[in-house]
Amino acid sequence: MKDATIEAKPVIELPAESFSRRGRELPAVIAPGNATSLLQAITQAASNPATDIEKMERLFAMHQKMVAQEAEAAFNGAMARAQAGIQPIVNNSKNEFTKSAYADLSAINKIIVPLYTAEGLSISFDTETKNDADPIPAGLQRTIAIVSHASGHSRRHHIDLPPDDVGSQGKVNKTGVQAAGSTNSYARRYLTRMIFNLSTEDDDDGNGKGDVAKSMDEQTRSNLEEAIEILEDRATADKLWAQIAAACDKANDLAAHKDLKAKLAAKAKTFKVTA
């Protein structure tokens, strides 16, 4: 997929700090620079008949560049925070032809829309039939995504795909309109995944107890479950939860994390409330 961004090149960069799925502390968006102050100076100078017009034009061009840089910095900060808050999305659909699971667009949007809109981001889609600057390959359909931020900065993304009009047997199974709609839906899903760097995972809910933990060794799992059973107060439960989280992280076992958390929560409901 080709990605074309708005012309203004950033000169303000966010600190290169890493973050994990559970520890999502990120630097705040860089405070705006002197664009506002510069505009005030330009406005004041404009009221002076002796002001050099050419200098005014250069100052105004500088102001526009600063505004664009600040808007792009705000966009980058918002996108970083939005992506940091997005967990892997559970696959809720199955491709009968490839026998593979995937998360459809409605499942993706249900999770990510509240997160990215809270950061002032929005995304819109369109199609394109001709582009002289970046020609569309013959036989392909182009779907465009425009990601915008409340600051005014936006980025354009697109993907070119063949019409989805052929079934698993290689025979045409859709009308032209149906194929266009199917291709567009497929493209929107993949563009969204690419833009927000989404990942998906299978849902382990409903599996038998023996299938829940796939990476954690049986002895560790048994010890943690026994510790949950003998819990008697909230303080001890909080300490145990820290141990559970560390053990699950070490084993990279998301299923055990989910299951043990649920058991700990159920046990906590049995604690007596003290005055």
Burial class (CB in 10 A: 0-12, 13-18, 19+), 255: buried
**Cα 213 to Cα 229: distance, rounded to the nearest angstrom:** 18
Q: Where are the domains of the chain?
A: 8-84, 89-201, 209-268
pLDDT tens, residue by residue, 62-114: 878 888 888 999 999 999 999 998 988 888 888 766 667 888 899 999 999 99
5: nearest Cα among 71, 61, 67, 64: 71
**Entry pTM:** 0.54
What residues form DSSP beta bridges with 161?
A: 141
Name which of 152, 2, 4, 159 is nearest 78 in CA terms. 152
CA–CA separation, 221 vs 223, rounded Å?
6
pLDDT in tens, 16-74: 333 333 333 333 333 344 666 666 666 666 666 766 777 777 777 887 888 888 899 99
Digit-coded pLDDT (tens) for 159-205: 999 888 776 556 676 787 888 888 889 899 999 999 999 988 876 55
Q: How far is CA 77 from CA 19, 80, 151, 171, in A?
A: 13, 5, 11, 47
